Amino acid sequence: MAHIYNSIPHIEEAARSLPVLESSVLPQLNSLLTNYELESKFGVVLVHRHFDLVDSEEQVVDLKGPGTVVSSVFKNGRPDSQIVNEYSLELPEVYTIVPAKFIVRDELIPYEYTCVPKEEEMAFISHSENVPVEFLREWTLILRNYCAEDKMGLVDILTADDENGTERTDHERRLNVVTLSEFFGGSNYVPTLWQPQRDSKQPARHCACAG
């Protein structure tokens, strides 16, 4: 799936569309989630990437640590042990990788993943398997009306933390580190995730463009 991930715009490019997306598109997507009673299962994400994948054996996968969530490259379903140890990440003894973020077309196309205990797999999979086709069609139509195809996607709420956070990227090592904390704003920060069951105007996570 590297070709799908690598086709996603970098954060700087994705952020250029935010004024229109937040003012016109996001309210409609939030209403759509509510209309289909999906607001407890999914949030809205700004589809973006920070680095490239090398081949089809690589995936961007989240692992939790103390006060952090680290997105790094898994190869053949395995994380970099040095990153796991450095950030004290919680790698289940028996784990599986499940989709976390999706591009919405005539089906859900996963582009980022999360690592969960094997016994919890079906709780995550069931969310993305039971999305009505009509919902997908209406979502893509809203985006098409604003020439915004693929610019806003879905995130499985089970994979998103309740706390706000700031995300910084290490381009050389190909990893993102989200520090869970209160957000203080600033011109270098771009909102990337919204949870409609709360305040649709308040992003749940922020992303640092620099660093």
Tell me the per-residue pLDDT of 59-70, one tens digit each, with 9 for 90 and over. 999 999 998 899
| Confidence at residue 129, expressed as pLDDT on a 0 to 100 scale | 86
Nearest to 70, CA basis, from 161, 196, 188, 186: 161
Average pLDDT of span 136-161: 93
| Confidence at residue 186, expressed as pLDDT on a 0 to 100 scale | 61
Q: Is the pLDDT of residue 161 over 80?
A: no
| Confidence at residue 166, expressed as pLDDT on a 0 to 100 scale | 77
| Confidence at residue 188, expressed as pLDDT on a 0 to 100 scale | 67
Nearest to 15, CA basis, from 44, 51, 46, 43: 46
Q: What is the pLDDT of residues 62-103, one digit of tens each?
A: 999 998 899 999 999 999 999 999 999 999 999 999 999 999
Judge contact between 190 and 138, C-beta under 8 A: no
Using DSSP bridges, classify how beta strands 165-170 and 203-208 pair: parallel, antiparallel or unpaired: parallel
Judge contact between 205 and 160, C-beta under 8 A: yes
| Confidence at residue 88, expressed as pLDDT on a 0 to 100 scale | 96
Look at 129 and 146; give whichever has higher pLDDT: 146
Q: How confident is the model at residue 208 (pLDDT cuts 50, 70, 90)?
A: very low
Average pLDDT of span 25-45: 93
| Confidence at residue 104, expressed as pLDDT on a 0 to 100 scale | 97
Residue 192 dihedral angles phi and psi, to the nearest 5°: -130, -10
pTM: 0.90
Look at 155 and 201; give whichever has higher pLDDT: 155
| Confidence at residue 189, expressed as pLDDT on a 0 to 100 scale | 76
